[in-house]
Amino acid sequence: MSTTLTPRARALAFAALVLGGVGIGVTEFVTMGLLPQIADGLGVSVPRAADTISAYALGVVVGSPLVALGAARAPKRTVLVVLMVVFALGNAAAALAPDHPSLVLARFVSGLPHGGFFGLAALIAVALAPPGQGGRAVGTVMLGIPLAMVAGVPLGTWAGQVLGWRVAYWAVAAIGVLTAVLVLRWVPWRPGDRAHSWRTEVGAFANLQFWLTMLVGAVGFGGMFAMYSYIAPTLTEVTGLDQAWVPVYLLVYGLVSIVGTWLGGRLGDWSVLRTLVIMGLGSAAALLAFVWASLEPVPAVLAVAVVGLCSSAWVVALQLRLMAVAGAARTLGAAMNHSALNLANALGAWVGGLVITAGYGYRAPALVGAGLSLGGLLVLGVSLLVRHRGRGTPARAV
């Protein structure tokens, strides 16, 4: 497909895919900043309003394999358009939700297209890319979430606070519609592979390397979420900063994540395995440093920046490895990366909360996070050992 596209046409196709990622990133994270407004608007407590965050994550975990299996033989562009329409409808339903159960259901529906969209976008990006540039192509289409964290989430949070929380979901619904139109207009169409079937995709579930790589993501990326989930109280209670400084630290995290995603794509073209190891070690070291760096503002922001850089580059490498070890089930492998990351979200936040509740303070989640990052590398080591001994499906040395 890449040989038939001009550089301008390829750039427009990538732009459409990135825009969809921005919309997904905004709806995933803006809810966290609007929980008080949502709770007040629906007459529930803040912890109960947080059910909407869990509902979205559950939608991602459930939707990723369903989309991959259902779209096995369909034209990828058509599936992307359908996913963005469902995404837009789910967010419109969230904006119209009259009560808490309705919003939880709408958020679950909104999460269903998440993994499938990014998975198919990654596969399309590789097909569109010039030879030898698949890694940087995947890194490009995954820029949507860090871009959302830098601009979309702060803007959506501000708009939701000023104009009401529902406006944030209306805006995301509009992004979904626009993305569907631009994908239809700019992303080249190719017929689906009629020889491919859902049975081929299901075959990935019998692949030990597939499950081990999923576990690498669920455990390893949980380290970042253990720290990030409690960054606000850590900065105010440990670092001693006013709450007005919290968005600044989050902005720094978002900015370096853009660089890290770009870097991860280029390093992935060099070596996926080496990128996972180097960035995993870097993330573990930065999380460990944050335990003490969080005592002072400047060291704290430096540690946050390194975590953001390493974690975002690591995610791109994990996406590439899952696509490789899945073999013929590339659609499922590409989509399930985001199921693994949402499991990491739940694991990191849960374990971080446990150590805080146990009385170890707000510095403890970063220490636990460093352990989870190293745990992910340990699982990766097991994966390589299994491959070396000839068990599971062989994969390229990526």
Residue 393 has pLDDT above 80, yes or no: no
Residue 298 has pLDDT above 50, yes or no: yes
Closest CA to 62 of 123, 113, 120: 113
The Cα–Cα gap between 255 and 251 comes to 6
- DSSP symbols for 212-270: HHHHHHHHHTHHHHHHHTTHHHHHHHTS---GGGHHHHHHHHHHHHHHHHHHHHHHHHH
Looking at the structure, tell me whether residues 171 and 232 fall in a common domain: no
Looking at the structure, tell me whether residues 243 and 387 fall in a common domain: yes
Percentage of residues in the chain with pLDDT exceeding 90? 42
Where a domain ends, among 196, 230, 257? 196
Where a domain ends, among 149, 180, 196? 196
Q: What pLDDT sits at residue 273? A: 92
Stretch (H or E) spanning 152: none
Maximum distance among all Cα pairs of the chain, rounded to whole angstroms: 60
Where a domain ends, among 196, 220, 249? 196
Report the range of poorest mean pLDDT among 46-55, 61-70, 270-279, 312-321: 46-55
pTM: 0.78
Side chain identity, residue 139? G
Q: Residue 65: which pLDDT band, with cuts at 50, 70 and 90?
A: confident
pLDDT tens, 108-148? 999 999 988 988 898 898 888 888 788 888 888 888 888 99
Looking at the structure, tell me whether residues 55 and 169 fall in a common domain: yes
Provide mean pLDDT across the span 368-373: 95
- CATH classification of the domain holding 359: 1.20.1250.20
Which range of residues forms the domain containing residue 54? 1-196
Q: Residue 199: which pLDDT band, with cuts at 50, 70 and 90?
A: low
Instruction: Centre a 10 Å sphere on the Cβ of residue 99 and count the other Cβ atoms it contains.
Output: 10
Looking at the structure, tell me whether residues 51 and 79 fall in a common domain: yes
Looking at the structure, tell me whether residues 257 and 301 fall in a common domain: yes
Looking at the structure, tell me whether residues 182 and 282 fall in a common domain: no
Average predicted confidence (pLDDT) for the chain:
86
Q: What pLDDT sits at residue 138? A: 85
Residue 229 has pLDDT above 90, yes or no: no
Q: What pLDDT sits at residue 195? A: 59
The Cα–Cα gap between 337 and 313 comes to 14
Looking at the structure, tell me whether residues 190 and 202 fall in a common domain: no
Provide mean pLDDT across the span 327-341: 76
Looking at the structure, tell me whether residues 252 and 181 fall in a common domain: no
Provide mean pLDDT across the span 42-52: 81
Looking at the structure, tell me whether residues 269 and 354 fall in a common domain: yes
The Cα–Cα gap between 165 and 36 comes to 9
Percentage of residues in the chain with pLDDT exceeding 70? 91
Residue 285 has pLDDT above 80, yes or no: yes
